[in-house]
Amino acid sequence: MNFKEILELIDIVAERGIAELEIEQAGTKLRIQGKPSAPQVIHSYLNGQREMPALPAAPPAAILSAKSQEPEEPDAGLHVITSPIVGTFYRSPNPESEAFVTIGDHVSKGKVICIIEAMKLMNEIESDVDGEIVKVFPQNGQPVEYGEKLFAVRL
Amino acid sequence: MISKVLIANRGEIALRIILACKEMSLKTVAVHSEADRDSLHVRYADEDVCIGPAPSRQSYLSISSIIAAAEITGADAIHPGYGFLAENAHFAEISSECGLTFIGPTPEAIRLMGDKAKARETAKRAGVPILPGSDGPVKTFTEAMDVAREIGYPVILKAAAGGGGRGMRICAAEADMQGAFDTARSEAERAFGSPDVYVEKYLERPRHIEIQVFGDTAGRIVSLGERECTIQRRHQKLIEESPSPALSHELRQQMGDAAIRLCQTVNYINAGTIEFLFQDGQFYFMEMNTRIQVEHPVTEEVTGIDLVKEQIRVADGLPLTVPNGDFHLRGHAMEFRINAEDPVTFAPHPGRIREFNCPGGPGVRVDTAAYRDYVIPPHYDSMIAKLIVKGKTREETLARGRRALDLFIIEGVKTSIPLHRAILDDPRFIRGDLSTRFMEEFEW
């Protein structure tokens, strides 16, 4: 797929008001997400290489937050992905579709792992490491605050 | 009806708002940064949400995070406190658009009074005295001279685009004008990219006196008397009192009427403050603050009105509870802003409070979010407590202030307590002979 073809696809998504288009073809994966007005390329992977970072990565795991009353989780050796914003946590892009990730899945850095809705905007949250998902902390639809634990990843 | 209030602030004012909500049986939501996890406002609110890291821009100034916090907790109103987003018209607008009651004035009023030039114009139209000066920037030196001659020396030349003292020159007489005009213009050019300056009457020893106003949705606007805030350093207020030792009942009424006229022209709703400069029996409009003020307890003490509860009631569409008729202030109140700072150099002094003992007894109120072992974060302002004392007379208030400051024990960080204590022994302060240059001339 060349650049011109990608541009054409974006135009189609915009004109037809398509919510989302995903194409996988010979090692190239392209996903275009449409918006009411302007379409936006969220991610494009070429041969596994991440090309266009669309969202800031989650903050370093050093900024761990745990409410003082909660018992400490045995997180030793695990990497914890925390929420970069306040909002509502969703495991899948919409209620009908499958979760972005489930326990046991291998994720690579940059993979979308959940959505956090804030002020009616769906913010896609990406993994900031390569590894295996071993724990999902919040329930689907649960409010999360800044710095709250989302996933534990075994590196 | 408001049932759950999100407080978009921190520190003592967040706590003050929580107290008002508790008395009104309203639920509260505290928002906080990572640096404020152990704050009292977080502890005392019914719910709390961490909205970001320590820097204000990513937490207390992040509109989207605060609105998101209101959404996930189901809050139906937002109180902005003072500072941070309190005078941000955009925030007030977005709150309303998201179905949240903004506890404060309308975005239009915030916008109109937040622009200094527009506010001055509005005041002029409302017949509120403003400092005599040129209408906007002066184009030539001759024009500057003409204006100065008309309003009388001393005058001050000020950068039209400026602030913070740069591009400012004071002229005592005509002979100073040429030099001052040239320097002010070149300084203004360098600092703000525009050489435009305007000419204004210069007050040598003004007092800073402000009027507390309050409007409700039925269109009623009242004045709740004045606060004298003349004791400042670097434009930061240190001590406020009400009534002002400089005002007669007639002057108080004149200033109150002027403030009300100004508010009427912008259909002002909720709490606001009109700041005036005062010298030789004349008052001049300076600016309006479209929010609750740090020093609001001074007015609460002499009027018996809980201003924060009144703010919430008015935001809910209820009428002001202030009775009609002639308004009198009862007794005398004074507030001391206790900052964690070196009392001599004023350098901020964050750190752990090792000992904290609040004074008490008759006529003493302390508004604070500090406690023993509290760590004052370095990210925010250095005010850690407000000590408010009240007496029947100014004399009794001063005596209460002295003994309360003596019994206010804060260890582990340096505070401004010794400075306040020394000011209370200053003969000029005791006489009430004040000007905004008091601190420049003050000697321990």
Q: Which residues of A touch B35 (CB under 8 A)?
A: none
> Quick one: pLDDT at residue A42?
43
Q: Which residues of A touch B65 (CB under 8 A)?
A: 85-86, 118, 146
* Tens digit of pLDDT at every position of chain B (444 positions): 999 999 999 999 999 999 999 999 999 999 999 999 999 999 999 999 999 999 999 999 999 999 999 999 999 999 999 999 999 999 999 999 999 999 999 999 999 998 877 888 999 999 999 999 988 889 899 999 999 999 999 999 988 876 666 778 999 999 999 999 999 999 888 888 889 898 999 999 999 999 999 999 999 999 999 999 999 988 889 999 999 999 999 999 999 999 999 999 999 999 999 999 999 999 999 999 999 999 999 999 999 999 999 999 999 999 999 987 767 899 999 999 999 999 988 888 999 999 999 999 999 999 999 999 999 998 999 999 999 999 999 999 999 999 999 999 999 999 999 999 999 999 999 999 999 999 999 998
Number of H-type helices and E-type strands within chain B: 15, 20
Listed residue (B392, B423, B417) closest to B301, CA to CA: B392
> Quick one: pLDDT at residue B267?
96
- Domains, chain A, in order of start with CATH, read 3-50 (no CATH), 78-154 (2.40.50.100)
Alpha helices in chain A (DSSP H): 3-16
**Site of tokens 């930061």:** B236
CA distance A65 to chain B (A): 8
Is the Cβ pair A86, B37 closer than 8 Å? no
- Domains, chain B, in order of start with CATH, read 4-103 (3.40.50.20), 141-201 (3.30.1490.20), 207-441 (3.30.470.20)
> Quick one: pLDDT at residue A37?
46
Scan residues 82-101 of B and list those with Cβ closer than 8 Å to A. 98
List CB contacts of B94: < 8 A, sequence separation 6 or more: B63, B67
State whether residue B98 is helix, strand or coil: coil
CA distances from B254 to A155, B127, B208, B283, B298 (A): 73, 12, 16, 9, 21
Of A20-24, A86-90, B290-294, B431-435, the poorest mean pLDDT is in A20-24
| Residue B213 structure tokens | 């106003």
Q: At A48, is the pLDDT very low, low, confident or very high (cuts 50, 70, 90)?
A: very low
Is the Cβ pair A85, B71 closer than 8 Å? no
Residues B164, B188 contacting (CB under 8 angstroms): no
Residues B68, A144 contacting (CB under 8 angstroms): no
Residues B74, B58 contacting (CB under 8 angstroms): no
The CB density around residue A102, as the number of other CB atoms within 10 Å, is 10
**Closest alpha carbon within chain B to A119:** B68
Per-position DSSP letters for B363-418, written without gaps between them: TEEEEE---TT-EE-TTS--EEEEEEEEESSHHHHHHHHHHHHHH-EEESS--SHH
B441 backbone dihedrals φ, ψ, rounded to 5° = -95, -5
Listed residue (B183, B162, B78) closest to B117, CA to CA: B162
- Among A90, A144, A146, the strongest candidate for a mutation testing the B interface, having the largest count of B CBs within 10 A, is A146
Listed residue (A150, A46, A36, A37) closest to A101, CA to CA: A150
CA-to-CA distance for B234 and B63, rounded, in angstroms?
Answer: 29
Is the Cβ pair A145, B71 closer than 8 Å? no
Q: Which residues of A touch B64 (CB under 8 A)?
A: 85, 118-119
Length of chain B measured in residues: 444
What are the residues facing B348 on neighbouring strands? B341
CA dihedral angle for residue B144, residue B148, residue B150, residue B151, rounded to 10 degrees? 130
Residues B343, B417 contacting (CB under 8 angstroms): yes
Nearest to B68 among A59, A65, A87 (CB): A87
What does pTM read for this prediction? Answer: 0.82
| Catalytic center residues of B | 291
- Among A63, A64, A86, the strongest candidate for a mutation testing the B interface, having the largest count of B CBs within 10 A, is A86
| Residue B11 structure tokens | 């520190």
